[in-house]
Chains A and B, each alone.
Chain A
Amino acid sequence: AQSVTQLDSQVPVFEEAPVELRCNYSSSVSVYLFWYVQYPNQGLQLLLKYLSGSTLVESINGFEAEFNKSQTSFHLRKPSVHISDTAEYFCAVSPIQGAQKLVFGQGTRLTINP
């Protein structure tokens, strides 16, 4: 079985400040890792994912996440946030083999203050 822990339920930051949203996972099998984002009054959408290869993955809007196998982490970072980044962010894993389903963390609500 898999489990995902997002260590912060809420993260308030000022505009143009850096941010890190933390995610740790537990799994007895190899997994793929995902970050999904839910903007206010919108559905969940993929932000970025790690499948294999380089452990640093990037999104088109400036977010990046680094897969750390030894620490079983997949933290999300952005060097300078914008008001438009206000959203809830979900870390998720999916087993590479077997059950085709996403196991989500509890979510982190990112609030950007001007």
Chain B
Amino acid sequence: AQRVTQPEKLLSVFKGAPVELKCNYSYSGSPELFWYVQYSRQRLQLLLRHISRESIKGFTADLNKGETSFHLKKPFAQEEDSAMYYCALLSGSEKLVFGKGTKLTVNP
């Protein structure tokens, strides 16, 4: 069965420090993975998708099939990065399965 695990419910870092939000998945097929973000008082929105190999707002995520991971990284965190982050797996091309989320707080 498909599953997405985000082991950290809360993550707190200082401004300027590197940040890594962990995501592990379980899926028998070829995975398509995404990161969604929800800023305070805003809607949940797509941050990035692994297939695009893009960097959005300084964030990157690399799919590691050997470790079944898709960790989200940013070398220098900013206060405006404080938000709830969800890792998601596209299952069977039409079903998006989310992890439980990690709340990131970037302290000044």
Partners in one complex: no
Binding site for A on B (CB under 8 A): none
